[in-house]
Amino acid sequence: MTIERNPTRAVRIGTITIGDHNPIAVQSMTATKTQDTDATIEQAEAIRKRGAGVVRIAVDSDKDAAALAVIRDGTTANLAVDLQENFRLAEKVAPYVDKIRYNPGHLYHHQRDKPWQDKVRFIIDQAAQHDCAIRIGVNCGSVDPAKKEKYDPSDSITPMLQSALEHCEFVDSLGFDRYVVSLKDSDPKHVVEVNRRFAQARPDVPLHLGVTEAGMPPEGIIKTRIAFEQLIGKGIGDTVRVSLTLPNPRKPEEIDAGQSIIDDIYAGRVRSVVNFNEGGLNIISCPSCSRVENEAFVELAADVKVMTEYAKQYDITIAVMGCRVNGPGETDDADLGLWCGPAKVNLKRGPEPLGAFGYDEILDQLRMELDKLIQQKTASANS
C-alpha cells in the first residue's frame, strides 16, 4: 500500500530521527518505580530490545530526577521524560534524556503567578542546552483552562487544537524547531478529528499518535487501531504509542501492538470501517506506568471489565485511572469514574465525588452506582 506521508520536518530524538519520511517510531513507557533504578533499567532495556524507538519514564520529584543519572548509564534506549506539573524539573532531567514532554494544561499547577510563556521558555532553554527534543503533549482531560473557557463545553476538540497551535507558535518564536506534538483523547473519533485538523494547519510539525487510556487488550488495541488506520493511512503520524493497561512484565507488548498495526496499514490490512462499541458499555483505563500508586490498579481494571459484563448493552462509560495525576480530571467526562490512590479508590459520578473506598470494597460500590445508572436510563427510555 502506497502512503504519501505528511511533509513534516525532521526531528532527532537521540539515535533516531522522526518526520521527513523517516520510518514511524513506536514507543512505550516504563511502569516500574523510577527510583527503583535496577527494575527501571531492566524494563527500559526490555522495551528497547522489543523494538522501541523511544522509552518514556515518569519523573514526579527531585528523587526521580536524580535516579535518571543511574538509569541513563544502564540503558542505551532513547529516553523521554514527562514533566507533569513541575516545569522546573526540566533543569534536572535534561542532561540525561533525549526528549522532554510537557503538557500545556499542567503548566498552571506550580508558580501560578508566572506566565506560561516564561515556563515554556525555561523548558526550551534546557532542551537547547542539553541536546533534547521536545514533545508538546495535549490531553483531553487536562486541557489549558484558559482555552476551555472560550468554547462550548460540548466541544472538547477545538480547545485542544488551539492550545497546541498556540504553543507551537510560541516555541517557533523562540527559534526552536526540534519539537513534536501529540493530541490525545480516549475516543478514537476525537483523536482522528483533532489530529487531522492539526496536520492541516501545521503540516510541518511531526505528530506523535495515541489513544489515551485505551484500556486493556484486545479492546485497547482495537480502539487504537481504528484511530491509527485513519490517520497513518492518510500520511499523518511520525511516532506512535499503544497505551495499554498491562502488568509490568507485559509492557513490551505495547511495542508489538504498535508495530503490528503499522505493518498492517502499510500492507493494506485495514479495518477502519468497523465502528467500535457504538451505543454500548465503554471502559477506558489508563496505561500502567510508574505513576501508579498501587499496582492493584491493573487487577482492578480487569475486575471491572468482568463485573460490568452484564451492562454491556448500555451506553455508559466507566473510567479506571491509576494515579492522582490523571485520575481526578480525566474521569470527569465518564458516567462513573474510579481513580486509584495508594490505599483507597476514589469513586465519582461524572465530576461529582462519591467517596473513597478500599480496594476490597470498590467493586460492590461501583455495581450499586452502575445499577442506579441503568435504572435511570431504562426509566428515561420508557417515559
CB atoms within 10 A of CB 239: 28
Does the structure show a pLDDT above 90 at 299? no
Residue 357 per-residue DSSP state:
E
* 124-176: pLDDT as tens digits: 999 999 999 999 999 987 888 888 888 888 898 999 999 999 999 999 999 99
Query: Which of 156, 161, 209 minimizes the C-alpha distance to 182?
Result: 209
Architecture of the domain delimited by 281-381: 2-Layer Sandwich (3.30)
Does the structure show a pLDDT above 60 at 267? yes
| Domain(s) of CATH 3.30.413.10: residues in the chain | 281-381
3-class SS of residue 346? strand
Does the structure show a pLDDT above 60 at 235? yes
| Domain(s) of CATH 3.20.20.20: residues in the chain | 11-267
* 6-16: pLDDT as tens digits: 999 999 999 99
Is 286 annotated in a binding site? The answer is yes
Query: Which of 29, 31, 41, 28 minimizes the C-alpha distance to 295?
Result: 31
Q: What is the pLDDT of residue 368?
A: 93
Q: What is the pLDDT of residue 66?
A: 95
Query: Which of 125, 134, 87 minimizes the C-alpha distance to 106?
Result: 87
Is 168 annotated in a binding site? The answer is no
Instruction: List Cβ neighbours of 186 (8 Å cut-off, separation of 6 or more).
Output: 140, 211, 212, 213, 214, 223, 284, 319, 330
- 278 — pLDDT class (breaks 50, 70, 90): low
Residue 88 per-residue DSSP state:
G
* 69-108: pLDDT as tens digits: 999 999 999 999 988 778 999 999 999 999 999 999 888 8
CA 229 vs CA 52, 123, 140, 179, 298: distances in Å: 20, 33, 21, 24, 27
Is 299 annotated in a binding site? The answer is no
For residue 376, report the phi and psi dihedrals to the nearest 5 degrees. -65, -45
What predicted TM-score, i.e. pTM, was given to this entire model? 0.80
Among 49-53, 138-142, 377-381, whose mean pLDDT is lowest? 377-381
CA angle 99, 85, 246 (to 5 degrees): 70
Tell which wins on pLDDT, 382 or 53.
Answer: 53
Is 330 annotated in a binding site? The answer is yes
C-alpha 303/C-alpha 216 separation (Å) is 11
E-state strands within the chain = 11-13, 16-18, 25-29, 54-58, 79-82, 99-102, 133-139, 179-184, 207-209, 239-240, 282-285, 317-321, 336-340, 344-349, 352-358
Q: Determine the topology of domain 11-267 in CATH.
A: TIM Barrel (3.20.20)
Q: Name the β-bridge partners of 208.
A: 182, 239
Contact, 19 vs 250, CB < 8 A?
Answer: no
CB atoms within 10 A of CB 132: 26
C-alpha 51/C-alpha 38 separation (Å) is 20
Contact, 330 vs 378, CB < 8 A?
Answer: no
For residue 320, report the phi and psi dihedrals to the nearest 5 degrees. -120, 110
- 2 — pLDDT class (breaks 50, 70, 90): confident
Q: What is the pLDDT of residue 279?
A: 65
Q: Between β-strands 54-58 and 79-82, what pairing exists: parallel, antiparallel or unpaired?
A: parallel
- 190 — pLDDT class (breaks 50, 70, 90): very high
